[in-house]
Structure 1
Amino acid sequence: MSIKLIAVDMDGTFLDDDMKYNNDRFMKQYHELKARGIKFVVASGNQYDQLKSFFPSIKNEIAFVAENGAYVIDSGKEIFSGEMSKETIKKVIDVIEKYEYTNLIVCGKKSAYIHEDVRDDAYKHARKYYHKLQKVPHFENLNDKIFKFATSFSTKDVSELLRGLKKSIGSLVTPVSSGHGDIDLIIPGLHKASGIKILQKRWGIRNYESAAFGDSGNDLEMISTVQYGIAMENAQKMIKDASRYITQSNNEEGVLNAIDAILKNEEPFIS
């Protein structure tokens, strides 16, 4: 059976380390994918407004599973939107404040929010990932639908911190690594695979007709669920172990190389 859906993570996967991709090569591929009726999905932990900026000419044609599955957009139209309860938000804030994080961002539908006392360098770094970012005096009672918390720590501490966060607030949110020392606290049951499932149902596409590319912990569910779960060469070990195939690194256009193989009906994508 031929592939009908391709889902790609962005940071560390579709994008190189400079947050760029080979636009000319991809657009040629995209037009061929579109002609064949193959759906292209951007599946990321990042903000929708940031994600669509990478695809200005086709942002209203493709689908986005943003905020780790909490916000799903198809052809410019909202399909699904999750929401974290106010009680959960308060409890998570109380716990997170006990940790020595380097940054904390609360991600909502209208905007992302960062504390007004944040250092200038940390704010400038966050702006790379959040096109809509507001400074606020506190995170409680924000007038927005909240999707997740995004935290940053020292890379060497991530594994231990994940265990600690799962133990302390795992019943309220699901802690997942998103690479480079970042940990997202997401709504339980909402992840990239759940967002892709919504789109699959909408389009009448099955898991055995789907491919997904990823490199970090928040890609685990989608990599494990679809028939063609593909890890990047630079992926975390857990993602490589869960994947069926491995492509070249994000700096070697590994996703685009695999898309070429899909279009050419080459191994391992022979229908």
Structure 2
Amino acid sequence: MIKMVTVDMDGTFLKPTNEYNRSRFEAIYQTMVKQDVKFVVASGNQYYQLKSFFPEIAEQISFVAENGALVISEGEELFCGEMDLELVGEILIFLADLPEVRTILCGRQSAYVSQETDPVFVDYGRIYYHRLNVVPNLSELTEDTFFKFALNVPEEMTEEIVTLFNQRFDGEITAVTSGHGDIDLIIKGLHKANGIQLLQKKWGIHEDHIASFGDGGNDVEMLRHAGHSYAMSNGSQVAKDAAKFVAPSNHDEGVLVIIEQLLDKNQSEKA
């Protein structure tokens, strides 16, 4: 019996066009409501961007945003991580010696980029961060609660940069990749599975009754945690190794295909 569905967005729930089949999902969601199945969006992206995909139901569903650093459930903030300002400063100093890395500093109120950042990258960042402010200097920011760095590097350097940060800041942060040269620096232990566990406590749902969907390295903990975990056929090998099953690709609406099957099985088990 499935009682909670958690979905990554890019490369998973969303098609390559950055959209999803809204009419098909609306029918699925109504069935989920009838069966009291919780729907959770679990993504590395900003909360304000994620909720824009679900304008009609954003206050009814839950979001594990920023790779678990921010958890909003049915309009209520359950958790907000906080990176020590001294650590933020140390990371910024370290980044200053890596000119090939483009940086977004993520906070509760907004995300931020330096005014020296390539405008093309700023436009790219606005796709995932609907609140993105250009500021003179990231190191001078103190008025927000910061919980993540979002980096972009040449794709062939991804693993090298991930290893570099995990070695330099071992025990303080974790560097994870979501593909296409995108890397998140997250507070140690604040991954998607941690956010999902907070929601489990709220609703009294065991992980055996969770179905999770993902495609990248930042989905690994979530996929390992869920009793029913699906890596997308278009996903990375690390996601497939962590998951119990493989779903059809995001191009083929694989998440919706599998949820429909799971809800049908729920119904038959109740009969």
TM-score over 0.5 (shorter chain) = yes
> Over the residues paired in the alignment, what is the CA RMSD in angstroms?
1.4
Structure 2 portions without partners, runs of 5+: none
Report the secondary structure of 1:45's partner residue: coil
Counterparts of 2:114 and 2:250, CA distance in 1: 32
**Residues 37-72 of structure 1, C-alpha deviations (whole Å, 9 max, x = no match):** 000000000000000000000000000000110100
Give the 5 Å matches for 1:21-36. 21-36=20-35
Give the 5 Å matches for 1:52-201. 52-140=51-139, 141-201=141-201
Matched, 1:258 2:246: no
- Could you tell me whether the CA contact under 8 Å between 1:101 and 1:151 is conserved in 2? no
Counterparts of 2:167 and 2:47, CA distance in 1: 30
Give the 5 Å matches for 1:190-269. 190-265=190-265
**Residues 134-183 of structure 1, C-alpha deviations (whole Å, 9 max, x = no match):** 01111123310001000001111111221111111223211000111100
Q: TM-score, normalised by structure 2?
A: 0.96
**Structure 1 residue identity aligned to 2:78:** I
Counterparts of 1:160 and 1:104, CA distance in 2: 16
Counterparts of 1:105 and 1:207, CA distance in 2: 33
Counterparts of 1:59 and 1:239, CA distance in 2: 27
Partner of 1:43: 42
- Could you tell me whether the CA contact under 8 Å between 1:105 and 1:113 is conserved in 2? yes
Residues 205-214 or 135-144, more deviating = 135-144
Report the secondary structure of 2:138's partner residue: coil
Counterparts of 2:97 and 2:219, CA distance in 1: 27
Q: TM-score, normalised by structure 1?
A: 0.96
- Could you tell me whether the CA contact under 8 Å between 1:61 and 1:76 is conserved in 2? yes
Counterparts of 1:96 and 1:172, CA distance in 2: 16
- Could you tell me whether the CA contact under 8 Å between 1:44 and 1:67 is conserved in 2? yes
Structure 1 portions without partners, runs of 5+: none
Q: CA deviation at 1:211?
A: 0.9
Counterparts of 1:102 and 1:257, CA distance in 2: 37
**Residues 218-259 of structure 1, C-alpha deviations (whole Å, 9 max, x = no match):** 100000011111100011101101110000111110100101
Counterparts of 1:63 and 1:5, CA distance in 2: 11
- Could you tell me whether the CA contact under 8 Å between 1:82 and 1:147 is conserved in 2? yes
Count, aligned residues? 268
- Could you tell me whether the CA contact under 8 Å between 1:213 and 1:231 is conserved in 2? yes
**Residues 74-110 of structure 1, C-alpha deviations (whole Å, 9 max, x = no match):** 1111111110001110111111222233521000000
- Classify 1:113/1:225 alpha carbon distance in 2 versus 1 (closer, same or farther; 3 Å): same
Q: Quick one: percent identity of the two aligned structures?
A: 44
**Structure 1 residue identity aligned to 2:65:** A
Counterparts of 2:84 and 2:32, CA distance in 1: 39
Report the secondary structure of 1:100's partner residue: coil
Residues 187-196 or 137-146, more deviating = 137-146
Q: CA deviation at 1:270?
A: 7.5
- Could you tell me whether the CA contact under 8 Å between 1:166 and 1:175 is conserved in 2? yes
Counterparts of 1:137 and 1:207, CA distance in 2: 45
